[in-house]
């Protein structure tokens, strides 16, 4: 059976976060090891799903991409929330997103949001504004060297037309200006993976965009047995109406 559904950006973030929270490596590391949820807009939803509590997601940001004009920046709180670090399910306030990798090892999980996606190639891109390489530049050595599982929650709205690797070469040119970008590989979790994790159903990205609050929205075609489809539609009905990130 097949059914198409539409998800706004906020709804996608909620769906992806639910998928991340039920992703087996995350479940395992939360119980027996260390899980780091780096700050970011999508990761604010991941925080809520892992902890079962609401936070002011406007405070759980790191280099948020905002309109150049308008009053959005004035609506953001100055005080930030620290990144969530869990050690065997308990919050470890002695560690943060930069220091935690020093304590982590194989099978532990580091969750980091992204800014660009080549879905078919399973490559993501992370914008970097800090001259020291930002969060990902500070932790990638630990992630690779210690075989830490890098989980990358990213909405299909961030799928780009070009090649991320080629774009990074251009962006990192000495004569370029603006943010840099780092290509990364890991466990990419989009709406597609989230629906498979949560409902065992296959989803295909068939269209994008809209107006009146559906800017950046994605159309998905769900395919599966009736039981799977009913479960997926019930879940989507539950998350539809998710308020925008600023509300």
Beta strands in 106-168 (DSSP E): 109-111, 116-118, 123-128, 149-153
Residue 183: what are its φ and ψ, rounded to 5°?
A: -80, 140
Question: What is the average pLDDT across 20-31?
Answer: 98
pLDDT in tens, 165-184: 999 999 999 999 999 999 99
Report whether pLDDT(237) > 90. yes
Which residues lie across from 116 on neighbouring strands?
125
For the chain, percent of residues with pLDDT exceeding 70: 100
Cα–Cα distance for residue pair 70/11, rounded to 1 Å:
24
Report whether pLDDT(130) > 90. no
Per DSSP, the three-state class of 239 is helix
Alpha-helix residue ranges (DSSP H) falling in the chain: 9-22, 24-32, 41-51, 134-145, 164-171, 191-199, 226-239
The CATH number that domain 11-197 falls under is 3.40.50
What pLDDT band is residue 244 in, cutting at 50, 70 and 90? confident
Are the CB atoms for 233 and 227 separated by under 8 Å? Answer: no
The predicted pLDDT at position 113 comes to 96
What pLDDT band is residue 247 in, cutting at 50, 70 and 90? low
Parse the chain into domains and list their residue ranges.
11-197
Out of 79-83, 115-119, 157-161, least confident range? 79-83
Specify burial of residue 173 (Cβ count, 10 A radius: 0-12, 13-18, 19+).
Answer: exposed
Question: What is the average pLDDT across 5-13?
Answer: 97
Are the CB atoms for 96 and 138 separated by under 8 Å? Answer: no
Tokens (6 digits) for 197: 């994790």
The predicted pLDDT at position 63 comes to 73
Cα–Cα distance for residue pair 63/41, rounded to 1 Å:
9
The predicted pLDDT at position 75 comes to 72
What pLDDT band is residue 209 in, cutting at 50, 70 and 90? very high
Mean pLDDT of the chain: 94
Specify burial of residue 190 (Cβ count, 10 A radius: 0-12, 13-18, 19+).
Answer: buried
Q: Nearest to residue 84, comparing CAs of 48, 33, 138?
A: 48
Cα–Cα distance for residue pair 107/33, rounded to 1 Å:
8
Cα–Cα distance for residue pair 146/160, rounded to 1 Å:
30
């Amino acid at each position: 059976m097949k059914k198409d559904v539409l998800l706004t950006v906020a709804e996608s973030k909620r769906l992806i976060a639910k998928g991340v929270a039920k992703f087996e490596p995350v479940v395992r590391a939360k119980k027996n090891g260390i899980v780091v949820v780096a700050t970011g807009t999508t990761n604010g939803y991941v925080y809520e799903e892992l902890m079962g509590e609401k936070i002011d997601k406007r405070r759980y940001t790191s280099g948020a991409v905002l309109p150049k004009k308008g009053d959005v920046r004035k609506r953001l709180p100055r005080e930030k929330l620290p990144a969530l670090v869990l050690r065997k399910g308990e919050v470890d306030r002695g560690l943060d997103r930069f220091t935690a990798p020093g304590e982590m090892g194989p099978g532990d999980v580091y969750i980091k949001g992204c800014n660009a996606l080549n879905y078919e190639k399973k490559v993501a891109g992370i914008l970097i504004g800090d001259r020291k390489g930002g969060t990902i530049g500070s932790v990638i050595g630990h992630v690779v060297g210690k075989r830490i599982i890098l989980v990358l929650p990213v909405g299909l709205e961030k799928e780009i037309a070009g090649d991320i690797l080629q774009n990074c070469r251009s962006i990192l040119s000495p004569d370029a200006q603006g943010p840099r970008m780092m290509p990364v590989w890991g466990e990419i979790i989009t709406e597609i993976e989230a629906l498979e994790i949560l409902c065992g159903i296959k989803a295909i990205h068939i269209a994008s965009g809209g107006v009146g609050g559906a800017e950046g929205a994605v159309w998905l075609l769900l395919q599966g047995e009736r039981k799977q489809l009913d479960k997926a539609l019930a879940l989507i009905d539950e998350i539809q109406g998710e308020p925008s990130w600023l509300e």
